[in-house]
Amino acid sequence: MSVDSAFDTYQTTVNANPDQVTEARRRRDLFKTSFAGEADVAEVRVSGSLARGTQKDPIHDVDTVIVFKALSHPDWGQPGGSAEDALNHVQTRVRELLGTNGNHAAGEVRRSTWRNHAVKCFMDDKDDDEAFTVDAMPALLDGDRLLIPEFTSKKWVPADPQYLIDEVNRKHAAWNKFAGTVRVLKAWGKSQDIEIKSLVMEVLALSYLPTGNTRPIALRTFFTTAAYAMESGVRVTDPANICGEIQKDLDYAKFAQCLRAASTEAALAVSDQASSDDAGAIRHWGKVFGSKFPDPPKTGKGPAVVPPVVPRPVKDTPQG
């Protein structure tokens, strides 16, 4: 097994199940179609990691943004109760359009509840291991940005989810393994013994994951430069420069240690590969990514033992 084939195999364990991606798109399109015909709706946008093609396995939610016409809701956008009013309005229309009366049929929502910014819509049986929601967020246009309701502050706050979508698309156009490698980095973050939000890893990738390289070289560079940045006091903030720090409770000292440990192993892996020791390189990458990364072939008198390949197709195309 070569280093490249090891990464191909590992990628299949990180990528979301293709059938689940197909269902996620269907649900997203169901909301787009249902709300696009509303008289007070200007447009329905897709958002989140599915739209960016960086959604790792498993899918937890699908994000949609329902942009309303300001003239239809003149009181929205103002501090006070209008944030809650907008969330209630979306929840009511979800019930009326998609049937949240408890009687489930194909394409219907079982129940919904609104959170700080969006209405979370449940479409699966509560015991379904692959259950995921559609999150419908109301918004108003504010120039090139959006205003979204924030229940906790009773205000409407600026946001620009399209900025991150465009940046990821730009990087992926320059290197067609970018989105897939972001999924790999998200899986790495999830495997650490501290809480690291997936969005933190994705935003770091925009800054420190280079394009136009092999995956091993790109990942070594990422871990090395990201570790140095965190050790130097850099904080991970909204790339659109609107919402500030992404994860205020992140233990940056421990995060830097995790990145530095990965950087050390990545450097050893790249060195072994350069010396034509793919088995050694795979062992070091296994220390970075854990037990799901393939084992190297065994050496000796017997035949090499190659791990079975997970029966998913290797795809590095955007999943949005």
Residue 222's pLDDT is what? 98
Q: Phi and psi at residue 96, in whole multiples of 5°? A: -75, -35
Q: To the nearest 10°, the Cα dihedral for 92, 94, 99, 102?
A: -70
Alpha carbon of residue 291 to chain centroid? 22
Distance (Å, whole) CA 183 – CA 203: 12
Q: Report residue 118 as tokens.
A: 């969006």
Q: What is the pTM assigned to this prediction? A: 0.87
Comparing C-alpha atoms, which of 5, 1, 7 is closest to residue 187? 7
Q: Residue 138 has what DSSP assignment? A: E
Residue 142's pLDDT is what? 94
Distance set, CA 120 to CA 102, 135, 160, 188, 199 (Å): 15, 5, 20, 27, 19
Domain boundaries, the chain: 3-14+164-289, 18-162
Q: In this structure, are residues 61 and 120 in contact, taking their beta carbons and an 8 Å threshold?
A: yes
The residues facing 145 across adjacent strands are: 142
Q: In this predicted model, what pLDDT tens digit does every residue of 190-233 receive, in sequence order?
A: 999 999 999 999 999 999 999 988 999 999 999 999 999 999 99
Q: In this predicted model, what pLDDT tens digit does every residue of 1-43 receive, in sequence order?
A: 899 999 999 999 999 999 999 999 999 999 999 999 899 999 9
Low-confidence ranges of the chain (pLDDT < 70): 100-107, 299-320
Q: In this structure, are residues 59 and 131 in contact, taking their beta carbons and an 8 Å threshold?
A: no
Residue 313's pLDDT is what? 47
Residue 130's pLDDT is what? 75
CATH architecture of 18-162: 2-Layer Sandwich (3.30)
Distance (Å, whole) CA 59 – CA 238: 22
Alpha carbon of residue 98 to chain centroid? 26
Distance set, CA 225 to CA 206, 211, 228, 246 (Å): 12, 14, 5, 19
Residue 100's pLDDT is what? 52
How many CA atoms does the CB half-sphere of 186 hold within 13 Å?
Answer: 25
Residue 101's pLDDT is what? 54
Whether the bond into 210 is cis, omega within 30 of 0: no
Q: Report residue 54 as tokens.
A: 């960086």
Distance (Å, whole) CA 31 – CA 237: 30
Distance set, CA 137 to CA 97, 159, 226 (Å): 16, 12, 32
Q: Residue 71 has what DSSP assignment? A: G
